[in-house]
Amino acid sequence: MILAIAQSNPKTSLRENLADHYQLAALAIAENADIIIFPEMSLTGYTREQAKSLSLTLDDERLDELHKLAVDHEMSIIAGAPARMDNDLFISSFIFSPDGTRSQYIKQNLHGGEKDFFSSTASCNPTLSIKDNNVSLAVCADISHPIHPCNAANKNCTIYAASIFYTKEGMEEAHYQMSEYAQMYEMCTLISNYCGEAWNLESGGKSAFWSEEGELIGELSPDKPSLLVVEQRNRTWKSKKVDLHENDK
């Protein structure tokens, strides 16, 4: 299995962010990745006040190219945005699968002022089966609630994949938590984070992957849009870094 963990610097422009997604997806395709995972609200940039106006639905035609990339290259794509569903607004990870289906994971644990803008639910929590691995998704504050990775382990998931927006100050704790969860549940863990400024804050980068023993297999820089490619061979994980150069965009 080959995973691609994207680290990006989303703007408040869906058009610009989609262009970044296509570029990072192209790098993942070149690495024969089976799945690429983007940060929280990667399609819109992290927002609360503008979330309703920027929100998307699963069948939004502006997402058709991501759908096509997933099908044409047999690669699952996980991308985040505010999502409208049943007249409520959620923080969602949209899932584009190689078989042409679209689904979503909904953030279960909101924090701070998010509750003033978003709803939460545990009813949208699919498990992805990819190359003999079961992948469970999480979004940001989910990883601060130990019951969340515990539930993933109880579903026999082998990979716990979190899309986050963390500042530099929060990344040490995030790395510690994800390593601990990996060891505790014998389950690989990963985080896909922002880099650069977002929502008037400096994000922390350092997207990373841990083995089921809690060993840090690979980690990106704090401040560059790039891709961490992790490959499993004979139950051993190896990683490489692939930069997204500004002149390639």
Nearest to 23, CA basis, from 249, 193, 204: 249
Q: Which residue has the higher pLDDT, 40 or 244?
A: 40
CB atoms within 10 A of CB 31: 19
What are the residues facing 81 on neighbouring strands? 92
pLDDT tens digits for 203-228? 999 999 999 999 999 999 999 999 99
pLDDT 10s digits, 60-117: 999 999 999 999 999 999 999 999 998 999 999 999 999 999 999 999 999 889 999 9
pLDDT of the residue at 244: 82
What percentage of the chain has pLDDT greater than the value 90? 94
Radius of gyration for the alpha carbons in the chain, expressed in angstroms and rounded: 16
Give the whole-angstrom CA distance, residue 214 versus residue 212: 5
Q: What is the pTM (predicted TM-score) of this model?
A: 0.96
Average pLDDT, the chain: 96
Query: Do the Cβ atoms of 162 and 141 come closer than 8 Å?
Result: no
Euclidean distance between the first and the last CA atom of the chain, given in angstroms as a whole number: 27
Measured N-to-C along each axis, helices 64-72 and 14-30 cross at an angle, to the nearest 10 degrees, of: 0
Residue 185, helix vs strand vs coil: helix
- What is the bridge-based pairing of β-strands 159-163 and 133-139? parallel
- Six-digit token pair at 186? 């014998």
Would you give the DSSP letter of residue 110? -
Q: Would you state the structure tokens that stand for residue 139, as one six-digit string?
A: 């979004």
State how far the alpha carbon of 54 is from the alpha carbons of 116, 199, 210, in Å: 16, 14, 33
Rounded distance between C-alpha atoms, residue 97 and residue 102, angstroms:
6
Alpha-carbon gap, residue 231 to 229, rounded angstroms: 7
pLDDT digits (tens, 9 = 90+) for 136-188: 999 999 999 999 999 999 999 999 999 999 999 999 999 999 999 999 999 99
Residues 6+ apart with CB under 8 A from 164: 39, 40, 139, 140, 143, 174, 191, 192, 193, 194
Buried residues in 166-188 as b, exposed as e (16+ CB within 10 A): beeebbeebbebbbebbbebebb
**What's the CATH architecture for 2-248?**
4-Layer Sandwich (3.60)
Distance CA 195, CA 171 (A): 12
Q: Are 33 and 6 in contact (CB under 8 A)?
A: no
The three-class DSSP label of residue 72 is helix
pLDDT at 46 over 50: yes
